[in-house]
Amino acid sequence: MTLTPGGDTVTWRPDGLTVPTDASTLLADGLAGAPGGPEAVAALVASAAEALTRARDERDGPLPARTPHQVAEAVRAALGPLASTPGGDPRAPGPAERVLTRLTHALAVNAADPAHPRCAAHLHCPPLAVAVAADAVASVLNQSMDSWDQAPAATAMETQVIGELAGLAGYDPEIAGGVVTSGGTESNLTALLLARDHALAGPERDPVRHGVARAAAGARPRVLCGAAAHFSVQRSAALLGLGEDAVVTVDVDSHHRMRPRALREALDTLRADGDLPVAIVATAGTTDLGGIDSLGAIAHIAREYGVWLHVDAAYGGGLLFSRRLRGLLAGLDRAHSVSLDLHKLGWQPVAAGVLLTRERALFAPLSRSVDYLNPTDDEEAGYPSLLGYSLRTTRRADVFKIAVTLRVLGTDGLGRLVDACRDLTLRTAARVTAHPRLRLATTPSLTTVVFRYDAGADSDEVNARLRRRLLEEGRAVVGRTRIDGRVWLKLTLLNPDTTVDDTAALLAEVVTAGDTEVSALKESR
Amino acid sequence: MTLTPGGDTVTWRPDGLTVPTDASTLLADGLAGAPGGPEAVAALVASAAEALTRARDERDGPLPARTPHQVAEAVRAALGPLASTPGGDPRAPGPAERVLTRLTHALAVNAADPAHPRCAAHLHCPPLAVAVAADAVASVLNQSMDSWDQAPAATAMETQVIGELAGLAGYDPEIAGGVVTSGGTESNLTALLLARDHALAGPERDPVRHGVARAAAGARPRVLCGAAAHFSVQRSAALLGLGEDAVVTVDVDSHHRMRPRALREALDTLRADGDLPVAIVATAGTTDLGGIDSLGAIAHIAREYGVWLHVDAAYGGGLLFSRRLRGLLAGLDRAHSVSLDLHKLGWQPVAAGVLLTRERALFAPLSRSVDYLNPTDDEEAGYPSLLGYSLRTTRRADVFKIAVTLRVLGTDGLGRLVDACRDLTLRTAARVTAHPRLRLATTPSLTTVVFRYDAGADSDEVNARLRRRLLEEGRAVVGRTRIDGRVWLKLTLLNPDTTVDDTAALLAEVVTAGDTEVSALKESR
């Protein structure tokens, strides 16, 4: 490579380029942030909205009446082959709008639509329109939270919103810490990292610098959680180098709540074995039954044994917004850390996870000074940095949609949506109980209804098959799980617009599909 | 709680609720996916676009002429206190649109705008309008990649696009694996997790089940990378329980490229010490100098020593799109895994990270069967699951914007944008070289220009101060870093619309600010 000082002539040896590339002709549709860019984005979104509406009408149900193979074929056809030239599919080359609407249509026709009342399988909420629009603003500005000079306002906004959420959780906003994450799994992982390094920190026992093996010489680090806690606890333990079998699962009751007495016994056993408990993970809202651990009792035990208490409230954290229901989270404020997911009971598009700590200082193991991001003299000059709160480096300003939603609805507004889902759940559970061929697993703790079509000895197979039948026929997206070795179906009710007539229709679909599967099974014998 | 079978009457004991909550009045602005929702989103985005344009005109520069404290005050004023009632700021209660435009304006006025030609500090690109619009579509549909029944089309789309990117990287798409990530840091972490578990796997040495301490009994796991590799390598090693000091940094040349001979020596030393090298991390595009390691030579060494080779091409991976420049990545196809970031040289809004592996089977340590997400009989019935490719559970369909962009521009279109940034860089470097008071660190390897204002013995302090002055006066966002103990400034040129006249103006700002700081320093003595 040769640089010719003082002039514009540049020679790039490998291919002998001498003429600067003109990119402007390519950017006819432009950069989102350039003059005219936001308007171009708005026009494109308006076209996409038409495609979305057209696709929803065509789909005419919660998901396409297609097999996975047929969906893949449809998507492949819409994408066309990857070409070097613009337009993708050579049969339909064209500008941005044409490609966007074609692919939007393909995505939406073949989507499982969380806004449809018969899509009720997972912790997969229908997002609020205003949160989606705010998310688009975040995309236009593309602020990145890893340094102040990539996100001046967003840095300030995240700091304030984290303080507000900490206050809602019962922490002192002045000293609490926190960060917006990609979801409960990242929040739980981060919390367990902080707990691990907190427990193992010491002059010769520092897992950040010297690793778990050296820090833990002798005592084996262990993590305790209820037997129905989220699988990300085991996954995090593996990631953190502790091993999945470092996780001790504690006995739960029929609502999947950890038994405090069993927790105490488990801690005594670890102590007797010379192991080192680094964290207790309590759950506020298990994925299946919505079980909420007795946080007060567990916090008491955690303090007594001197162990970090993390609360995974990814699901149940939304109760903080509800005046009626927030009492179920009593004791949360005594945890060292808590995971919330506003893309569950908060109606945000993914991602809107949050990790809070009672004290900001608990994030110390993640603190880091990077010459090009947060040099010491810049920090001393008053330039704040959120780099030391996150496992990520580049990080989208997901806080913006959260901030907008909190202002549009207020905490009570969100609370009323939570209450609506909760009421719907209880009314739906009552319908299950009333039906002769449906069986309710247990009274709902949160917003899931776990039940099954009762087909006697064949129930497991019939329920698994009827669920796939509903998917394949595009009639309903119903969840399934396994409890005590049996297959159960599950409705996760996160749509505040859904009525009990809607869920009754959904249950009727389940019964019809169950009847069909029972007949098919008899015929095949 | 009492459920009354057969009826709709429900009693929720804790607060005696008997009347179902009506949420419909709250949802006047609606769910994004409900009938009328996409249109509501489009209308809100149109209003936000006006606010964005107004704010850009007001800001009239790459960032606000405000201190961090002033920015925080402005954001606080716009947010108002968190209220329980809708509207947030009690002085301006109102519907979604009013809140959204108020906060959009506050965010944008106080943003560091990557679309502004004088915002050139970081790997922080101005996104394409069409990619932003596609991102909004992903938000409306809110598909989540952790199970097929939350993302039928998006699952198929990610599978196809990952195959296409694998093909671009030189892998065989039929057997390659990969996943869309939140960015280079998550990609690098995932790759090192796979490498760790690959190296330590065995009947008695399985870090997933039993942890690093047991798996590594005896041999200490080590990671090798160039001395200018991204700090996420050290961070990942700490996270994975190996310890930061498990990372052996290998000597680099003046362009920050790892010296292959030094790598070989480091491997020999580890071997002699009985340590276990689990991965070599080569870099294709270091953050500061853009240095691209000699991938072919390193791949040869990795194979000879039987060590996993990961290539962090978060920055340089964009060269794959450029016919002129992709030769610089020769040897990439021989790596076990590679990180790409399409939110760098790919003009996507964050996040658009990608991790690719030469073989899909290399993801085995992450594979997992979860009863409620991917039960075995569903997989056998043809329902695919991407759960085993990601560290996350809930995961946004970030692939959609990537797919749309690839079809709109084609690979050559993206390549021309890469070429434009590259040309701009060389021309800007020539301007630096020509200026009597500016000094170029070295000829650019990629799209960064590392230089400094030459103020003799005071250069470090003057450069640090002039950069903060430019920020505070809202004149320019220039990067800084530290090389060989000295402070350097940095332009990271990712805006294909920026001209050499723009960067010349930016350099003039640097010189003026430098002159001012030199005078101030003299006066203070």
What pLDDT is stored for residue A132 in this prediction? 98
Give contacts of A16 with chain B, Cβ < 8 Å.
Answer: none
Q: Which among B3, B53, B420 has CB closest to A443?
A: B3
Rounded CA-CA distance B201/B222 in Å is 15
- Residue B263's pLDDT is 98
Residue A100 is nearest to which of B134, B327, B464, comparing CB atoms?
B134
If one counts every other C-beta atom within 10 angstroms of the C-beta of residue B486, the result is 12
| Residue B94 pLDDT | 54
Contact residues on chain A for B13, CB-CB shorter than 8 A: none
> What is the arithmetic mean of pLDDT over A350-357?
98
Interface touch A153/B17, C-beta < 8 Å? no
pLDDT at res. A92: 42
Average pLDDT of the segment spanning A352-362: 98
User: What pLDDT does residue A29 have?
Assistant: 63
- pLDDT of B23: 47
Q: For A27-51, what is each residue's pLDDT tens digit?
A: 546 999 999 999 999 999 999 999 9
What pLDDT is recorded for position A57?
A: 97
B9 has pLDDT over 90: no
For A46-139, strand residue ranges (E) read: 119-120
Degrees to nearest 5, angle at CA B469 with B466 and B472: 155
Q: Once rounded to an integer, what is the mean pLDDT over residues B201-210?
A: 85
* Test the A interface: residue of B139, B210, B312, B380 with most A CBs within 10 Å: B139
Report pLDDT for B240: 97
More confidently predicted of B216 and A275: A275
Residue B169 has pLDDT above 80, yes or no: yes
Band the pLDDT of A10: cuts 50, 70, 90: very low
**Interface predicted TM-score (ipTM):** 0.94
Over residues A71-125, the pLDDT tens digits come to 999 999 999 999 887 654 444 445 799 999 999 999 999 999 999 999 999 999 9
Preferred mutation among B54, B71, B149 to probe A, highest tally of A CBs within 10 A: B149
Q: Mean per-residue pLDDT for A239-243?
A: 96
Place of tokens 């249109």: B39
DSSP letter at A20 equals P
Task: Indicate whether B87 pLDDT > 80.
Answer: no
Residues of B in contact with A15 (CB under 8 A): 324
Averaged pLDDT score across all residues of chain A: 92
CB pairs under 8 A between A and B: 739
Distance from CA of A187 to the nearest CA of B (A): 10
On whether the CB atoms of residues B320 and B306 are closer than 8 A, the answer is: no
CA distance B61 to B471: 10
What is the arithmetic mean of pLDDT over B78-88?
80
**pLDDT (mean) for A435-456:** 97
A192-196, A212-216, B259-263: segment of lowest average pLDDT:
A212-216
Contact B208 A238 (CB under 8 A): yes
Q: Give CA–CA dist A119/A114, Å, rounded.
A: 5
CA distance A303 to chain B (A): 26
pLDDT at B12 > cutoff 60: no
Supply the pLDDT for residue A94: 54
By the 8 A CB rule, do A434 and B5 touch? yes
What is the structure's pLDDT at A525? 81
Our measurement of the distance from residue A352's CA atom to the centroid of its chain's CA atoms, rounded to an integer in Å, reads 7
- CA dist., res. B407 & res. B409, Å (int): 6
In this complex, which of B50, B82, B240 lies closest to A164 when CB atoms are compared?
Answer: B82
Share of chain A above pLDDT 90, in %: 87
Amino acid in position A459: S
The 10s digit of each residue's pLDDT in B296-313 is 999 999 999 999 999 999
How far CA A101 is from CA of A54, A97, B46, B451, in Å, comes to 10, 6, 18, 44
Cα angle for residues A391, B403, B36 (degrees, 5° grid): 90
CB contact under 8 A, B238 and A424: no
**Which of B179, B240, B372, B446 would best serve as a mutation to test chain A binding (most A beta carbons within 10 A)?**
B372
**Comparing C-alpha atoms, which of B27, B133, B142, B396 is closest to residue A50?**
B133
Q: How far apart are CA B193 and CA B195, in angstroms?
A: 5
Torsion, Cα B256 B258 B262 B264, to 10 degrees, reads 180
Say if the Cβ atoms of A427 and B10 lie within 8 Å: yes
What's the whole-number mean pLDDT along residues A278-306? 98
Predicted local distance difference test score (pLDDT) of residue B408: 92
d(CA B255, CA B294): 11
Q: Which residues of A touch B53 (CB under 8 A)?
A: 35, 38-39
**A16 band by pLDDT with thresholds 50, 70 and 90:** very low
Cβ–Cβ gap A113/B210 under 8 Å: no
- pLDDT for A261 equals 98
Nearest CB among B32, B63, B420 relative to A152 is that of: B63
pLDDT tier for residue A145 given thresholds of 50, 70 and 90:
very high
pLDDT tens-digit map of B365-422: 999 888 889 999 999 999 999 999 999 999 999 999 999 999 999 999 999 999 999 9
**pLDDT single digits (tens) B479-511:** 999 999 999 999 999 999 999 999 999 999 999
CB-based contacts of A156, cutoff 8 Å, min separation 6: B68, B71, B72, B75, B76, B110
Crossing angle between the packed helical segments B500-523 and B399-434, to the nearest 10 degrees: 60
Mutate to test the interface with B, among A3, A140, A186, A500 (most CBs of B within 10 A): A140
Tens digits of residue pLDDT in B264-285: 999 999 999 999 999 999 999 9
Burial class (CB in 10 A: 0-12, 13-18, 19+), B437: middle
Minimum-distance CB partner of B393 among A79, A159, A183: A183
> Can you tell me the mean pLDDT for B103-124?
97
What pLDDT score does A4 carry?
Answer: 30
- Give yes or no for a contact between A490 and A288, defined as CB atoms under 8 angstroms apart: yes
Residue of B154, B246, B327 lying closest to A107 (CB–CB): B154
Q: Quick one: closest CA in B to A388, which residue?
A: B235
pLDDT at residue A11 tops 90: no
- In this predicted structure, what is the pLDDT of residue A83? 86
Query: How far apart are the C-alpha atoms of A89 and A94, rounded to whole Å?
Result: 9
CB contact under 8 A, B41 and A45: yes
Q: B384 vs A68: CB contact, 8 Å cut-off? A: yes
pTM: 0.95
Of A89, A126, A378, the CB nearest to B33: A126
A13-22, A167-176, B93-102: range with highest mean pLDDT: A167-176
| Residue B360 CB coordination number (10 Å) | 16
